Amino acid sequence: MSKTAITAAPIASVLAERWSPRSFDETYELSSREIISVIEAARWATTSNNSTPARFSILPRGSELHKAVAPALASWNAVWAPTASALIVVSVSKVHADGSPATWAHYDAGLQVGNLVVQASELGLHTHQMAGLDQAAAVAALDLHEDMEIITVIAIGKLAPADKLEGPLHEREIAPRTRIDLNDIILHGKP
């Protein structure tokens, strides 16, 4: 299924073709090379002072950690996300090593995740980011330090036919991609 973005000006094809499905191939297993590739892309993202604040917990489908974290997904996400090849839990520390607040950690982690998602697309993989999560249960399952905060969970794998999904999930899967109008996100200096 293709959901090419309709844009006001050309953008890189890896960005135009990227979208977040809910139907994943339940048989596809990520290779070590694919995992390393997406995490390397995240590692080389632009971050303030090269801080690279995001930390990644890679939970292959069927692993003990996957089994422990998947039930912490919100009910809507818990229906489809566990079928992806893996869940990647992204967390950041709320403080720097010196104890000062990690003010830009979320922004920088977002840049890291952006690189990860684009690299996954380049590899022919799909991703879907989720915020719907029982934070406390996931933090406990991963035994994260009290300074760590989960910011997203990413389902990653190969696309499966939309017909695997039913009802509202199927309807959302086949719906066209949409965004707010370009002019609505430019506050000043409109072209």
CATH topology of domain 13-161: NADH Oxidase (3.40.109)
Distance CA 116, CA 40 (A): 8
Relative to beta strand 86-93, strand 148-157 is antiparallel
> Does the model's pTM come out above 0.85?
yes
Where are the chain's structural domains? 13-161
Judged on CB neighbours under 10 Å (0-12, 13-18, 19+), 93 is middle
Cβ-Cβ contacts under 8 Å for 7 (sequence gap 6 or more): 16
Tell me the pLDDT of the chain (191 aa) as tens digits.
789 999 999 999 999 999 999 999 999 999 999 999 999 999 999 998 888 999 999 999 999 999 999 999 998 899 999 999 999 999 999 998 889 999 999 999 999 999 999 999 999 999 999 999 999 999 999 999 999 999 999 999 999 999 999 999 999 999 999 999 999 999 999 78
Question: First-to-last CA distance in the chain?
Answer: 33
